[in-house]
A = this chain, B = another copy of it.
Amino acid sequence: MKRDEVAAFYKDLSSYEGKTVTVCGWARSIRDSKTLGFIDLNDGSSFKGVQVVFEDGKIENFKGIASQNVGAALKVTGMLLATPEAKQPFEIHASKIEIEGASTPEYPLQKKRHSVEYLRTIAHLRPRTNLYSAAFRVRSAAAFGVHKFFQENGFVYAHTPIITGSDCEGAGEMFQVTTLDLENPSRTEEGKVEYKEDFFQKPTSLTVSGQLEAECMAMAFSKVYTFGPTFRAERSYTQRHAAEFWMIEPEMAFADLTDDMDVIEAVIKYVVSYVLETCPQDLEFCNAFVDKGLLERLRHVMESDFVRVSYTDAVKILEQHNDEFEYKVSWGVDLQTEHEKYLTEKHFGKPVFVTDYPKEIKAFYMRLNDDGRTVAATDLLVPGIGELVGASQREERYDVLLDRIRELGLNEEDYWWYLDLRKYGGNKHAGFGIGFERLVMYLTGISNIRDVLPFPRTTGSAEF
């Protein structure tokens, strides 16, 4: 079906102006006087649609078109005319309008404001609204921006496994994956579940991180990144947590924490810049209706040098303001969102890397610093969000890593292959994890993770 896309008109009006075009899209609104009608037609190729003007006598079936319901799919052929005096830059004067698919008065997205809570119950239709059109278009552009950055910088994209045989990250509650019959699983003589009958002949779960496998790949390609779904089975009802979310986990051989921070700063700036460039209409909408300071904040980030401050110094700063915090700060505590926001929003007013956290509050694989009590880890805190990226140099010393695994009571045998990486050509290496939904929230100003995931999976909810 030959058709033109509205996005092309916005990009290059002069090529289309005065020419006959054919646009297929959905009516966001239809209004008419006796002989003249207007359709706000959106074809999804860009955030903004096109106004279609249709006139009795100039098209067939004027009344039939004028009486269509909002949501109808229409194919419009007509002349594209620039309208420099009007609100919209151009409109189509229709010579033909065909009804590809009608809609009904029961169409839930009538031209009025709906609550996001309601729209979540119709996740199959909500991408047709302004908010979700912007959110998911930005999501797509940001995802491609991420790929583009890493590919152009020589990183190999690694697909790490989703189904995993062990909880190697030690990151908490996991979803079990099974083909056993839950009503009546095979059992051993002792009455235990017989996992030899399960698909993988052992218990398996959904991954919480691809990092450990990404490290294997980095020890061959030097620079790799993952970009895939990860899972947490924590019962949580916050705005910031979903059970299924996408993560980007780069990993670099021959790199330390400073290299790590350099790459993090570069990729965040690159993606912000890429989205600003490719989604201007979407971001303008978000800036106007979601978060008034959005565009200013994004532009500010691109121009800022990110601050680098040690955890120890950050704690000193925060301790002076303990009276303002619900949770009081002292050396050794994990920073809460209120503290992170204080640092990045109030104290520094720009993105901040907090480095060298106490080892007790960080994961086993992070490199122990020479002081013996902190690790070479960093979190990137950004205004409006708090933690956006978690990073660390990885422990490359076999003995030190083994000690940490034992110290934490992890199962040494689960890590034989991870330890192998330290036996055969190990080296200083580092990596990080970006929660992709956090990044999209940061780019759009949207505050609830349920509104940046097309079909969110959260505690008690896996609809569609």
Spell out A's residues near B (CB within 8 Å). Answer: 1, 3, 5, 7, 24-27, 43-45, 71-73, 75, 100-104, 107, 122-125, 127-128, 132-133, 136-137, 139-140, 143-144, 147, 151, 154, 156-165, 173, 175-180, 182-183, 185, 192-193, 199-202, 204, 206, 213, 216-217, 219-223, 228-229, 231, 233, 235, 243-244, 246, 253-256, 259, 396, 417-418, 420-428, 453-455, 457, 459-464
Contacts and interface: CB of A to CB of B under 8 A. Distances in A.
Contacts of A417: 122-124, 464
24 contacts: A1-B256, A24-B427, A44-B156, A44-B223, A45-B221, A75-B254, A100-B428, A104-B424, A107-B425, A123-B417, A124-B417, A136-B156, A140-B158, A144-B151, A159-B229, A161-B455, A163-B457, A175-B179, A176-B178, A180-B182, A199-B233, A216-B464, A228-B228, A417-B464
A462 B162 contact: no
Contacts of A219: 26, 125, 127-128
A220 B177 CA distance: 33
A179 B149 CA distance: 37
A154 B71 contact: no
A136 B71 CA distance: 45
Given A162-B162, A222-B24, A423 B103 contact: yes
A125 B199 contact: no
A7 to B, nearest CB: 6
A74 B326 CA distance: 50
Task: Rank and list the top 6 A-B pairs by shortest CB-CB distance, nearest first.
Answer: A127-B220, A44-B221, A101-B426, A24-B254, A73-B425, A100-B427
Nearest to A430: B1
A246 B160 CA distance: 11
